[in-house]
Chain A
Amino acid sequence: MKNIIKITASLFLIFTLSVSVVSAQSWSVPNLSKKKQNPYDTSTKNISSGKKIYNINCKSCHGDATMRNMLPLQPVAPSDLGSQAFLMQTDGEIYYKVNKGNGAMPTFKKTLNDESKWMVITYLRSFDKNKKVSKKIAEVKNPEVSDVKLLLDINKETKSVSANLTGVTKKGARVALQGIELSFKVKRSFGYLDISGNDAYTNEQGMIEIPFPSDLPGDREGHVNLLVKVTDDAYYGEITVDRIATLGVPTDPENPLDERAMWGTRANAPIWIIVSYVGGVLSIWSIIFLVLFQLIKLPKLAKTEE
């Protein structure tokens, strides 16, 4: 039964795919759609959130923008969405294609909301060499460096964490690395909580300061495990620093095993149950021993009678 379902499903898939592949000749974008404008401005913040959306939804097929490492799909491979050849198109055209889909390119009409789609386009546009007006995060030019160091400073007064990213140039000078996104994370019971906010890019001094949330619980002393990393491993490889910071709200953890309860250990059994059990056992067995004691007297009673 299961096999039949599998076979029909594969047949169906092959059929629909081949139909769509055959029809996947060209995109025809209506003229009106081409003229559609991006309503969002080209801020670093928008570019950054566009990048996040891109990494989650598009990177698996299209690869990193400008790196030409897309999936080699047949018959038409996904384009490098950071290439100049692609960015020739208007925002409206890209928007239309993302909504429509074509062949192996899925439609995002319902899977992404409008804002997210425009954010992705903003991000892609930041690679456009012809659009000088936009702030381009990818354009921040850091010198080629080695021995990249990430230093953390925890400020208890202002309750903030600051990080400093530096590297050593070929000439041997340590310089600040700017425009690099960092992720600030706090360890919780299940995984990490990201506290970076939207604009976690290093400035000209390679510095960045992030306020620590005032209501985040720590352990008894207020300790929390802090983890800071360069978000994109593509730049300098994996660079992470972790630190125990005393920035959390000191909290006494409640261990449910500490109270007297049904689920507790024997030592933490509810008093009433210990009393009932021990009391019951003692009273029944004391009567049993009383009877046994009386039993020993039985032979003596025979003698006294005679």
Chain B
Amino acid sequence: MNDLPEQKETTLSFEKIKEDILRPMQNHKGLELWIVFLITVIGVCAWAYYVQLRDGLGVTGMRDYVSWGLYIANFVFFVAVSLVGMLISSILGLLRINWITPISRIAEIIAVAFVAVAGLVIVLDMGRPDRVLNVLIHGRFQSPILWDVTVITTYLVISLLLLILPMIPDLAICKNELKKTSPVLKKLYNILSFGYINTPSQHKHLHKMIRTLMVLIVPVGLAIHTVTSWLFAATLRNGWDTTIFGPYFVAGAFVAGSAALIVAMYFFRVSYKLQDYITDVQFDKMGKLMVAVCLVYLYFNLNEFLVPGYKMKTGDDIHLKELFTGNWAIMFWSSQLFGNVIPIMLLVTKKFRKPLPIMIISLFIIAAAWIKRYVIVIPTMLHPHLPIQNVPENFVHYYPSAIEISVTVLSFALALLIITVLAKIFPIIPICETADNEGIDYKIEA
């Protein structure tokens, strides 16, 4: 385990930074294998999607009662994770917090990958994806669905810009240094570096743009998850009909997103050998941040369940009893304990904020966060507004079918693939910003 003495004074030169960060982009055998693996998984699961497309949504476990199943729960999870981009690179970035510099790009890559796939998950959930444009053509201004489609697209665009713009100086370096890469990539570096040679006016101009976007993404980021929560809260259903759903989802998203970032940090640090950049300090700070967001989330959970649980009004009572002691109790309580309470208790001690322990804790948080979304979506759907007689057995229970599970696996593999590919073609740690932070002077040739 990395102990404190390892925090040695490293003397970084610009050359060394360039070398360390560009090396894994040039030759990294494991990465290619990983990509092949992901593509295989996607290929196999794409067959499941083909079956769904061919035979219709009847191949899923969704029926009349549960028409939002695994897919929508997964969608909410993806949207939640993507919010980390806004939290780390924008909120903390605007506060000029220095330790985020080496991890901000990872956060932004996660944001782009997860929000892109979130949008795709919605299309995967459609029986007739060829009609997806109807959402925009015939969308009603009153419908949260239209708001959600709008805000997800907007968030994707701003996140992409926030990934690319701060990367422009680094891409100029890539253009100069990576002489051996494929012509396609060379062309990409050439276009995306926008002729940047780090003149003072260019520097000022670029950072003004970045700051504008950082401010802009705060309301859009809040909106993306608030609107996603309104998809639920704008109905009168028990369990969804609550006023705190917006901030509740945002708080939950910070938890899930931070956990995903920590796991990604760990793997890049190990696999890319970036111990000098993603140091224990970053993990320690992320651990503290995690405690903070978990506490906020715990507070929201308390409000979300204690207040209606105290009143137990008609309708709510059935739903809450199902969650607290009924069929959903195991999922509900494990999501609360492993995703919230236990992480808080562990992460207050410094020992657990070391890279490996906090990574493992984060894996639990991610799993719990996923289960939490499932528990939000499905139990409510199982209680229809109107009582119906002689309901077929498969209406009143919901088990995701193998097809559904495969398509969900596909979405995860796709998100990981996007992250991997982006991390393969772009420097995962900001080269120039790191140099700026260290006070190292550098020049970028034309």
Contact = CB atoms under 8 A, between A and B. Distances in A.
Interface residues of B, number: 32
Interface in A124-175: none
A253 to B, nearest CB: 23
Contact of B199 (A291, A295, A301): A301
A281 interface: yes
A303 to B, nearest CB: 8
A154 B168 CA distance: 86
Contacts of A263: 142
Q: Main secondary structure on chain A at its contact with chain B? A: helix
B213 A291 contact: yes
Contacts of B154: 281, 284-285, 288
B374 to A, nearest CB: 29
Contacts of B202: 298, 301-302, 305
A298 B220 contact: no
A284 B205 contact: no
A269 B206 contact: no
Contact of A302 (B147, B196, B208, B219): B196
Given A265-B140, A295-B194, A277 B147 contact: yes
Interface in A249-306: 262-266, 269-270, 273-274, 277-278, 281, 284-285, 287-288, 290-292, 294-295, 297-299, 301-305
B79 interface: no
Interface stretch (B38-46, B157-165, B350-358, B399-407): B157-165
Contacts of B199: 301-302, 305
Contacts of B157: 288
Q: Main secondary structure on chain B at its contact with chain A? A: helix
A266 B140 contact: yes
A301 B142 contact: no
A161 B146 CA distance: 55
B141 A281 contact: no
Contact of A269 (B141, B161, B209): B141
A298 B196 contact: yes
Contact of B139 (A266, A278, A301): A266
A237 B205 CA distance: 93
Contacts of A281: 150, 154
B216 A298 contact: no
Interface of B: 138-142, 146-147, 150, 154, 157-158, 161, 165, 168, 194-197, 199-202, 205-206, 208-209, 212-213, 216, 219-220, 446
Given A288-B154, A301-B201, 17 more contacts: A266-B140, A277-B146, A277-B147, A284-B154, A285-B154, A287-B216, A288-B158, A288-B161, A290-B212, A291-B161, A291-B165, A291-B212, A295-B165, A298-B196, A298-B202, A299-B195, A299-B196
